[in-house]
């Protein structure tokens, strides 16, 4: 199973929003809003790990755009989950229980609003 291929499949899935996707902590200096950050989560074969996706906005209608994007992501990840295929395996993304989606402000800039989605990923070898 290729972790790099798994990560690429999650990034490709999130790019369906039309927003750039970066790994948390690897956002380029001067990146243009809006964009999505993704925590990387790896699980041993046939086990689950947590994954956090955050869509970040800084604009006049940030709240509206953030809610619309999170609604689109909710539709893309139904309660039963979504299956992603990649070279060497497959992953199932499912909604995490409890606080599945929350709205947050950036700790350093209160004008930046984020929609945070918590997912669980279950990896399988091909």
Residue range 3-17: average pLDDT?
A: 86
Write the pLDDT tens digit of every residue in 20-35. 999 999 999 999 999 9
Percent of the chain with pLDDT over 90: 51
- Assign 4 a pLDDT band (cuts: 50, 70, 90): confident
Domain boundaries, position 26: 3-125
Q: Which H helix or E strand runs over 13?
A: helix 3-14
pLDDT value of residue 122: 84
Domain count, the chain: 1
pLDDT digits (tens, 9 = 90+) for 99-120: 688 999 988 888 999 999 999 8
Whole-angstrom CA distances from 48 to 16, 27, 107 are 24, 26, 29
- Looking at the whole model, is its pTM more than 0.85? yes
Which residue in this structure is represented by tokens 């899935």?
A: 13
Token pair for residue 11?
Answer: 């990034």
pLDDT at 11 over 50: yes
Residue 1 and residue 15: Cα distance in Å, rounded? 22
DSSP 8-state code for residue 17: G
CATH number at 65 reads 3.30.2000.20
For 63-76, what is each residue's pLDDT tens digit?
999 999 999 998 99
């Amino acid at each position: 199973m290729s972790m790099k291929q798994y990560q690429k499949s999650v990034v490709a899935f999130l790019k369906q929003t039309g927003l750039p996707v970066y790994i948390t902590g690897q956002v380029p200096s001067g990146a243009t809003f809006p964009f999505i950050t993704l925590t990387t989560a790896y699980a041993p074969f046939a086990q689950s790990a947590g994954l956090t996706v955050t869509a970040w906005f800084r604009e006049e209608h940030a709240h509206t755009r953030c809610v619309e994007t999170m609604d689109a992501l909710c539709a893309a990840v139904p309660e039963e989950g979504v299956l992603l295929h990649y070279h060497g395996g497959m992953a199932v993304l499912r909604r995490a229980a409890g606080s599945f989606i929350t709205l947050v402000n950036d700790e350093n800039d209160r004008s930046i609003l984020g929609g945070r989605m918590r997912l669980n990923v279950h990896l399988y070898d091909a």
